[in-house]
């Protein structure tokens, strides 16, 4: 349409409230300030018995990264059952992939990485759960082969280690850093310093293991401390979501 005719038409459409004039290509949705992701690794039973009820009370989303590694198959007192994992999904939380056996990806060949991812995908399917679309790296160990396999299998987002918020337009969505990694000696001040980074286009992802984590005390979070973290998060007014929810903000080329 000739430009001279197009402008009056746009004006007319505008008068009738019809959005027909946008000529700029649609970009990704703008990341709001205060966007925080909660992630919980290693399939610990306390995720179902303590964490999920507290998150529901606050109205927070979260991702639970499931592995059948460690003593998952033998110790059903400390590790989640698949019935509990199903319930986490039913409660609206995301179930993500943390591999079959919790092996470090840098020591594995692509075919082994693919098999360990597929194992959790199949276990999800067997229990009527959607195929995971996000991942967390066992031991935070990223590898180029791992990123390639994740991309091939349709994964959109993956969390590694680190200690900073990220920008989805600049960071690789399949190797995203965490802004906070809860350890026994972590403090409320460190937690607040992490969530305050969620601004100016940046997202803060927070990592937890068991609350408590009896079998792995070096990643334990004390339940009383966790309650204080969640209260601080609530008071901050942050929007607390699951990792999968970030797909909405990915640049189109990275979908």
For the chain, percent helix, then strand, then coil, each to nearest 5?
Answer: 40, 15, 45
Tell me if 245 contacts Zn ion by CB under 5 A: no
Q: Which is nearer to Zn ion, 160 or 242 (CB)?
A: 160
CB of 239 to Zn ion, least distance (A): 26
Q: Which is nearer to Zn ion, 105 or 195 (CB)?
A: 105
Q: Which is nearer to Zn ion, 14 or 184 (CB)?
A: 184
Nearest-CB residue for Zn ion:
41
CB of 138 to Zn ion, least distance (A): 5
Which two tokens mark 230?
Answer: 């969640």
The neighbour count for residue 87, using CB atoms within 10 Å, is 14
CB of 58 to Zn ion, least distance (A): 24
Identify which of 125, 118, 127, 126 has the alpha carbon closest to the alpha carbon of residue 135.
Answer: 118
Tell me if 41 contacts Zn ion by CB under 5 A: yes
CB of 59 to Zn ion, least distance (A): 26
Q: Which is nearer to Zn ion, 31 or 162 (CB)?
A: 162
Q: How many residues bind Zn ion (CB under 5 A)?
A: 3
C-alpha dihedral, 126 to 129 to 130 to 135, nearest 10° = -90
Contacts with 52 (C-beta within 8 Å, 6 or more apart), sequence order:
62, 87, 88, 91, 93
Tell me if 42 contacts Zn ion by CB under 5 A: yes
181, β-bridge pairs: 207
Q: Of 115-144, which residues contact Zn ion (CB under 5 A)?
A: 138
Helix extents (H) in 36-129: 46, 52-58, 82-90, 110-126
Q: Which is nearer to Zn ion, 72 or 93 (CB)?
A: 72
Q: Which is nearer to Zn ion, 41 or 181 (CB)?
A: 41
Q: Of 134-193, which residues contact Zn ion (CB under 5 A)?
A: 138
d(CA 135, CA 159): 6
In three-state secondary structure terms, 102 is: coil
Tell me if 68 contacts Zn ion by CB under 5 A: no
d(CA 107, CA 76): 28
CB of 99 to Zn ion, least distance (A): 9
Q: Write out the residues near Zn ion by the rule CB under 5 A.
A: 41-42, 138
């Amino acid at each position: 349409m000739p430009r001279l005719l197009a402008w009056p038409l746009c004006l007319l459409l505008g008068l009738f409230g019809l959005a027909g004039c946008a000529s700029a290509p649609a970009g990704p949705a703008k990341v709001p300030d205060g966007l925080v992701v909660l992630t919980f690794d290693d399939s610990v039973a306390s995720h179902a018995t303590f964490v999920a009820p507290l998150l529901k009370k606050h109205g927070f989303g979260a991702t639970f990264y499931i592995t059948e590694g460690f003593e998952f198959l033998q110790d059903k007192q400390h590790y989640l059952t698949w019935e509990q994992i199903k319930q986490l999904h039913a409660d609206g939380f995301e179930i993500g992939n943390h591999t079959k056996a919790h092996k470090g990806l840098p020591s594995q060949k692509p075919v082994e990485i693919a098999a360990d991812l597929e194992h959790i995908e199949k276990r999800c399917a067997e229990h009527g759960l959607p195929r995971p679309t996000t991942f967390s790296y066992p031991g935070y160990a990223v590898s180029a082969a791992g990123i390639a396999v994740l991309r091939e299998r349709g994964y959109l987002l993956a969390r590694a280690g680190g200690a900073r918020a990220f920008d989805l337009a600049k960071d690789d969505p399949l190797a995203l850093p965490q802004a906070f990694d809860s350890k026994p000696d972590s403090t409320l001040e460190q937690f607040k310093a992490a969530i305050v980074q969620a601004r100016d286009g940046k997202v803060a992802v927070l990592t937890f293991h068991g609350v408590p984590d009896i079998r792995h005390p070096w990643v334990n979070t004390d339940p009383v401390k966790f309650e204080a973290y969640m209260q601080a998060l609530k008071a901050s007014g942050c929007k607390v979501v699951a990792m999968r929810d970030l797909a909405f903000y990915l640049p189109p080329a990275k979908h």
